[in-house]
Structure 1
Amino acid sequence: MKVMIFVCGEGLGHTSRCISIGRELASAGHDVHVGAYGYSKELIERKGLKTHKVPSEITLVGKAGSLNLKKSILATFKRGQFLGIIKIRKLLKRTKPDVVISDSYFMGMLSAKSRGIPCYLIVNQSNMEEFFKGKGVSSKIVAELVKKSYTGMFRMADKVIIPDFPLPHTVCRKNLEFRKKTWEKVFFSGPLIGKTFGETKTRELQRPHVLCTVGGFGYREPIFRKVIEAAGLDSSINYTLLSGPSVDPASLGELPENVTILKFIDDQFPYMKASDLVIAPGGHSTMMEALSFGVPMISVPDQKHSEQQNNAFVIEEDGLGKMMDYSASPEDILENVRLLISDEKYRNKLAEMREMAVELNGPKAVRLLVEEIGN
């Protein structure tokens, strides 16, 4: 079969799970093409998959760490990016795929359906209107338009794939709202991550070890520095912190001996496998990676980001980690670090999640679903 995968490039979580699907399909002998843009396209090319440049779908607008979805939608319309559907139709006409998989890239799905090509839509959120709550009359109008658009997309899709554990273990469950007819075609694939626990070689790190992917740039800098302070309160626990490429580690001053600062890790899975805890924002893909590796989390969701906050709430509610906010003190952070590393209750729960991820085998589940069309 020939399969076209469209990737939303606004966040590398979409990219990593599409790479896992693409590799699985290619290893089974299918002809895989990927439509992507920006750094996402570069990353996919490095993984050896056939790529095609596609227009970006949405312009993200915001400041101080808060996404302004209303302004993002208006900016997208002003730039005329939705006209890119013509380019996508031409790409599909040229490549002639048997099926399209669209990871939150709605132009890809609209183009596929307009050409009569079966299309599977991947999403981990279906209530984007949450961004507009309590923000005035004009925002309510935009929210209603957004909701109607999403509802129409879900109705058109042949399958709606949720890249998460099945209910009741679904981490993104508080971000899912479907009509009855849509629920009938929802498929929980299991986590879609770049590497499995079994195929990952453990990085040699001093244990116990904490991997912090919060980043030290912009609005996240205060919590980043508090994690460093927390590390200085207990030298028996070791930390690797990812600062991001925009931060000079030298600007952080003298660091505790148990702290290592790295700007970027090309492959974080060996570090994750060697860690006893992950500190991260509330991004869905990072959560799927940590749970698939059996590692508990401290989630510090971005401010005013309802999706991340819902994910973080579920992590704590299900006994998979702790939810904290930017007001947390270094002492609070250390208390939760010690709890999650030492409490057997958390270790047992996370071991169950890791075993479930292995059994589900998300990429294979998606491949089998796609092959049903061919059969």
Structure 2
Amino acid sequence: MIFVCGEGLGHTSRCISIGRELVCAGHDVHFGAYGYSKELIERKGFKAHKVPSEITLVGKAGSLNLKKSILATFKRGQFLGLIKIRKLLKRTRPDVVISDSYFMGMIGAKSRSLPCHMIVNQSNMEEFFKGKGVSNMILAELVKKFYTGMFNLADKVIIPDYPLPHAVCRKNLEFKKKTWKKVFFSGPLIGKTFEETTAKELKRPHVLCTVGGFGYREPIFRKVIEAAGMDNSINYTLLSGPSVDPESLGTLPENVIILKFINDQFPYMKASDLVIAPGGHSTMMEALSFGVPMITVPDKKHNEQQNNALVIEDDGLGKKMDYSASPEEILENIKLLINDEKYRNKLSEMKELAVELNGPRAVRLLVEETANR
């Protein structure tokens, strides 16, 4: 049984990669999910059971308010859904449970004495509350205690990233000594490998931009279009999102294609020389596994994304930019990342390492060992 946090499809995509590996090895795989996450899992052909959503995300203007999110979650009483989780586990009788940041799945598994592995790429959520008053300091301590309790319950804590010192999420990892003994760096967990992906026929050099043109991200989206107009030798595919009408963007440069959505972005990624994206961990794992450098534009006040973006720049895998960047600065960094040989060499190393690690296989072997034991 794989439980998936549905707040962000990065959790879903990496769990699908695990599910596919397990099914190919002859195992019976069930998912517990909700919302669009459940729909996506079912479209991929897996058995999916509806579970209660666990957290309500609250924020505005690109900033996540974790305090309000926690309070809103408690008000909805969704933690009472644990009874449903217990019944689901009794009915399906799994040998092993994997829970990707879905804590009711963890608690439910342990209440039924089932082995459970937890997937996380951040363990320092209390960082959201630092420097924000006494009440936030108290809440930060409660959050830290809760996380510590979850890590104590887990048989293994799976980090879906490269092993140290290469882990992109390393600035977001803080564990007690006894938890570190449980930590397992699986390697990237991505929906498709480079080898099994057929590249889209695109004019090169090519830039894939997944920032989106809605809400607070619209200014940087428009700046990328403006940067594209300054040099027509570089071609672009921009994903605007379903809420944006491309015609509202005015006359586009000839080297720019705007799509609202693509079902499979891997053919585009394989055909691209650069990815421009927010600071989400899963997109970073996909780009690095395909050997593509990144310009990251992390959401403001989103500590996890900011830290991920810093590592990408520090490790020579791309550049970190913010919403104040000018079109000229964006174009300058695009040219640097496409043309500089040191970036290409570094990304080639990360691509080869991802193949060697084979994250889905590593998790399957861990699950099989747990079940046999």
The match for 2:220 among 207, 223, 232 is: 223
Give the equivalent residue in structure 1 for 2:285. 288
- State the alpha-carbon separation in 1 of the partners of residues 371 and 263 from structure 2: 35
Cα drift, residue 374 of structure 1: 2.4
How big is each residue's C-alpha offset from its partner over 1:155-204, in whole Å with a ceiling of 9 and x where there is no partner? Answer: 11000000000000000000000000000010000000000000000000
**SS in structure 2 at match of 1:327:** coil
Give the whole-Å Cα distance in 1 for the aligned partners of 2:314 and 2:82.
41
Q: Confirm whether residue 129 of structure 1 aligns to residue 104 of structure 2.
A: no
Out of 191, 214, 234, the position equivalent to 1:194 is 191
- For normalisation by structure 2, the TM-score amounts to 0.99
Letter in 2 for 1:275: S
Q: Secondary structure of 2:29's partner?
A: strand
2:14 pairs with 1:17? yes
The whole-number CA distance in structure 1 between the counterparts of 2:23 and 2:32 is 15
Note the 1:232-311 alignment, pairs <5 A. Answer: 232-311=229-308
Asked if residue 95 in structure 1 is aligned to residue 92 in structure 2, the reply is yes
1:139-154 equivalences under 5 Å are 139-154=136-151
Equivalent residue number for residue 360 of structure 2: 363
Indicate yes or no: 2:215 matched with 1:203.
no
Amino acid in the other structure paired with 1:37:
Y
The equivalences for 1:145-184 within 5 A come to 145-184=142-181
In structure 1, runs of 5+ residues without a counterpart are none
The SS at the match of 1:168 is coil
Equivalent of residue 322 in structure 2, options 321, 325, 331: 325
Q: Determine which of 326, 345, 349 is the counterpart of 2:342.
A: 345
- Partner Cα separation in structure 1 for residue 183 and residue 113 of structure 2: 20
In structure 1, distance between residues paired with 2:206 and 2:179: 42
Amino acid at match of 1:99: V
Q: Give the equivalent residue in structure 2 for 1:114.
A: 111
Question: Residues of 2 paired with 1:351 and 1:86: CA distance?
Answer: 48
Q: Distance in 2 between matches of 1:222 and 1:142?
A: 34
Partner residue, 1:71: 68
Letter in 1 for 2:157: V
Give deviations 1:104-163, integer Å, cap 9, x for gaps: 000000000010000000000000011111111111111110000000100110000000
Give the Å deviation of 1:20.
0.3
Deviations 1:257-292 (A, max 9, x none): 000000001000000000000000000000000000
Q: Which residue in 2 is equivalent to 1:38?
A: 35
Shift of 1:295: 0.0
Q: Spell out structure 1 runs of 4+ moving beyond 3 A.
A: none
CA distance in 1, matches of 2:204, 2:186: 33
Q: Provide the residue aligned with 2:46 in structure 1.
A: 49
1:373: how far off?
1.7
Q: What amino acid does structure 2 have at the position aligned with 1:173?
A: R
User: Aligned to 1:31, what secondary structure does the other structure show?
Assistant: coil
Cα distance in 2 for residues equivalent to 1:129 and 1:250:
42
What root-mean-square deviation, in Å, do the aligned CA atoms of Structure 1 and Structure 2 show?
0.4
